[in-house]
Structure 1
């Protein structure tokens, strides 16, 4: 049976690195989850680790698309000159000795904020979930190209 075809915007994870361009369409988060699950299965990662990584990627991609894309028309025009118009974010997975590093890059200039829990809030729980499921997480300092938010998940036992 032939291997499933990969999209033109993906780099398969044969050597412990896989990347996927994120379009910003309505199905982007689902595609990122599927890409993560397929890649971690190809790498024969522990199913529990894969489940946690899929949830983490879902939250990181959602945040990148919601908060990491510029709202200012001038900034949108400026970023489109650099190619971000068609690819507002990237997902990268790196296999590590005992787990995986999940990283999502976007063109936004704001740093992620871990909010206080509010039981009645309709949003704002994503980074709490990332914090609970990952072994460590953080971000690069935003610059003219944006930032990368990352999280590591390690196999237990």
Structure 2
């Protein structure tokens, strides 16, 4: 007779997960910075072979919220940046998927277009569909939306591949999404 070991609900077999995210002001520089974030992160995770495809997908997912909710033109001070002017970019590698995700405060879902051959834009989601196994839109409880696309990876993710110490990717001052600071005004005499 073979003794069976009882399992407990407290026992968990962890699934390796790698994740990195950043919040940035929705300015035009956010798109190339997001691509650099992808390349830097995937190099750190030793997943360089997916860097170019993932950077292109990130670029396509980030451009629409930057155009829709961004801060065009004039330079803004940190206290002028509101949540509607911020996007969050995230990479997650789990099992055999590399998830490229962008959050923004808008509820409007991206729409696949059928651009004319002469059109300069409108091909972003078609490109994402060609590079990825799929894409979707999620509505988090905090509001807004997350557009997520999944690239398949050849080998299961191994979280031991990412070194513990790695120099951080510096975020340029103009892209920093900081806490809103109140301006201090001098008291008015009574």
Give 5+ residue unaligned stretches, structure 2. Answer: 1-16, 72-78, 156-190
Name the residue aligned to 1:57. Answer: 58
Residue number among 138, 141, 160 corresponding to 1:140 in the alignment: 138
Name the residue aligned to 1:113. Answer: 111
Q: Contact (CA 8 Å) 1:108, 1:142: kept in 2 or not?
A: no
Name the residue aligned to 2:28. Answer: 26
Name the residue aligned to 2:150. Answer: 152
Which structure: larger Rg? 2
Q: How many residues align?
A: 132
Higher relative contact order (CA 8 A, sep 6+): 2
Q: TM-score with structure 1 length normalisation? A: 0.74
Structure-to-structure mapping, 1:53-92, within 5 angstroms: 53-67=54-68, 69=69, 83-84=82-83, 88-92=86-90
Name the residue aligned to 1:40. Answer: 42
Aligned counterparts of 1:142 and 1:119: Cα–Cα separation in 2: 36
What root-mean-square deviation, in Å, do the aligned CA atoms of Structure 1 and Structure 2 show?
A: 2.7
Give 5+ residue unaligned stretches, structure 1. Answer: 1-14, 72-79
Aligned counterparts of 2:62 and 2:152: Cα–Cα separation in 1: 20
Output one character per residue of 1:32-88: Cα deviation in whole Å (capped at 9) or x when no partner: 0000001011111151x2211100000101012123x289xxxxxxxx9xx505x51
Output one character per residue of 1:6-56: Cα deviation in whole Å (capped at 9) or x when no partner: xxxxxxxxx611001121223111110000001011111151x22111000
Name the residue aligned to 1:77. Answer: none
